[in-house]
């Protein structure tokens, strides 16, 4: 869906991108990860031509992005940035309407669509539609930003540290909701972050960058298990074992309860990491797994978690 072919970007003598080639498959979430200044945001911005490469080509749906006028190209791409950039002089509804309006949708259609988008991101239109951005909390504003990006139903979403500026609990909630939405919408998403945990949580594939080059482009599990370069190994650091647990669903690790039910419990839908945290916190050797009704359906033992964490 998105293909970078030997993309180079120079600013004077400085090379921000030094020949990046990368392919993003349709419907996937690809996270561009790396320290600040590694070129990840620059790379993202070549897709909607806010940055024009010095060399190389970016293809979107098989077509060179330079074939379209920048405005037309951008109207077909959802764009979310860290500082959100809501238009302060427009109400929430008008903000969400921006792209459909630019595309010339008729009024009733675009308003219905904007309301639907607000509902989708968990903002009740009756409450929020007529508010101005300054009347929103950080998390609400970021939801509006997402609704605005989704309003014209673009196939591709570019997200530049979209959850970077909100407090940790809100960030986690926004991440969960993003995953829930993505499961339905199946957009092709290019997502920039410097937060390894966020990358591991959200990505289908992670592209770890450094100094304008791709260090490794792999599924999170592979990246964590098998770092290809010293830089990747160092960037991932000692938390990689724990992070791997956050990619493993509990479902496959459950053993039958033999008689006694452990005091602590985690939901069936949780990841192995959550069970591990509970075990650490309680100092227990096993934890009960409960279904949606809260009934214990099995247990997960500490030994199992230790085994899967160190597996290669």
Partner 1 sequence: MLEARSLKRSAAIAPLVAPVVAWGLLMGLFAYQDLWKRTLAALFPNQTPLFERQTLLNLALEHLAITATAGLFVLLVGLPLAIWVARPSGAAFRPLVENLVAVGQTFPPVAVLSLALPFVGFGSNGAILALLLYGLLPVVRNTLEGLAAVPPDVLEAASGMGYSPLQRLWRVEIPLALPVILSGIRTSAVLILATATLAPLIGGGGLGVPIVAGLAVNNQAFVSEGAIAVALLAVLLDWTFARLEAVLTPWRAIRA
Would you give the binding string for partner 1 spanning residues 211-250, x where CB under 8 A is met? ----------------------------------------
73 lies in the binding site for partner 1 (CB under 8 A): yes
Q: Does 124 bind partner 1 (CB under 8 A)?
A: no
Q: State whether residue 299 is helix, strand or coil.
A: strand
Measured from the CB of residue 311, what is the shortest distance to partner 1 in angstroms?
Answer: 43
CB–CB of 140/128 below 8 Å?
yes
Q: Is 74 an interacting residue with respect to partner 1 (CB under 8 A)?
A: yes
155 forms part of the interface with partner 1 (CB under 8 A): no
Q: Which of 134, 168, 283, 293 binds partner 1 (CB under 8 A)?
A: 134
Other CB atoms within a 10 A radius of the CB of residue 90 amount to: 15
Q: Toward partner 1, which CB reaches closer, 77 or 203?
A: 77
**Which three-class secondary structure state does DSSP give residue 29?**
strand
Binding of residue 99 to partner 1 (CB under 8 A): yes
> Contact between 85 and partner 1 (CB under 8 A)?
yes
* Tokens at 49, concatenated: 């031509």
Q: Is 148 in the site for partner 1 (CB under 8 A)?
A: yes
Q: Which residues pair with 133 in a beta bridge?
A: none
Q: How many Cα atoms occupy the beta-carbon half-sphere of 56 within 13 Å?
A: 24
Sign of CA dihedral 256, 243, 149, 58: negative
Out of 32, 65, 98, 278, the only residue in the binding site for partner 1 (CB under 8 A) is: 98
Nearer of residues 159 and 287 to partner 1, judged by Cβ: 159
The three-state (H, E, C) secondary structure of 197-235, written as one string:
HHHHHHCCEEEEEECCEEEEEECHHHHHHCCCCHHHHHH
User: How far apart are CB 102 and partner 1 at their closest, in Å?
Assistant: 5
User: Tokens standing for 304?
Assistant: 């199992």
Residues 6 or more apart whose CB falls under 8 angstroms from that of 44 comprise 32, 158, 160, 190, 192
Which residue of 84, 114, 159, 232 would you call a contact of partner 1, by CB under 8 A?
84
| Per CB under 8 A, 308 contacts partner 1 | no
- List the interface residues with partner 1, window 266-305 (CB under 8 A): none
157 binds partner 1 (CB under 8 A): no
Tokens of 98: 């921006």
Between residue 44 and residue 63, which ones bind partner 1 under the rule CB under 8 A?
A: 48, 50
Cα-to-chain-centroid distance, residue 298: 31
Residues that bind partner 1 (CB under 8 A): 48, 50, 71-76, 79, 81, 83-91, 98-99, 102, 130, 132-135, 148, 158
């Amino acid at each position: 869906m998105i293909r970078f072919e030997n993309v180079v970007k120079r600013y004077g003598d400085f090379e921000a991108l030094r020949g990046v080639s990368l392919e993003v498959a349709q419907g996937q979430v690809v996270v561009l990860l790396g320290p600040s200044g590694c070129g990840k945001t620059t790379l993202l911005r070549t897709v909607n031509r806010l940055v024009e490469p010095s060399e190389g080509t970016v293809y979107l749906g098989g077509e060179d992005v330079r074939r379209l006028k920048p405005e037309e190209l951008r109207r077909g791409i959802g764009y979310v940035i860290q500082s959100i950039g809501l238009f302060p002089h427009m109400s929430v509804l008008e903000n969400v309407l921006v792209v459909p309006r630019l595309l010339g949708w008729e009024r009733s259609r675009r308003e219905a669509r904007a309301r639907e988008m607000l509902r989708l991101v968990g903002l009740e239109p009756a409450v929020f539609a007529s508010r101005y951005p300054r009347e929103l909390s950080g998390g609400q504003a970021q939801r509006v930003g997402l609704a605005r990006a989704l309003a014209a139903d673009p196939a591709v979403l570019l997200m530049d540290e979209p959850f970077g500026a909100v407090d940790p609990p809100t960030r986690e909630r926004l991440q969960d909701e993003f995953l829930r939405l993505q499961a339905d919408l199946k957009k092709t998403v290019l997502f920039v972050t410097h937060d390894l945990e966020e990358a591991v949580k959200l990505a289908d594939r992670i592209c770890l960058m450094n100094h304008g080059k791709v260090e490794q482009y792999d599924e999170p599990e592979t990246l964590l298990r098998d770092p290809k370069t010293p830089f990747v190994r160092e960037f991932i650091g000692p938390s990689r074992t724990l992070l791997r647990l956050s990619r493993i669903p509990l479902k496959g690790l459950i053993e039958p309860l033999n008689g006694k039910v452990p005091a602590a419990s985690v939901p069936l839908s949780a990841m192995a990491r959550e069970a591990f945290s509970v075990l650490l916190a309680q100092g227990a050797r096993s934890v009960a797994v409960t279904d949606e009704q809260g009934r214990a359906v099995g247990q997960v033992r500490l030994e199992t978690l230790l085994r899967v964490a160190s597996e290669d």
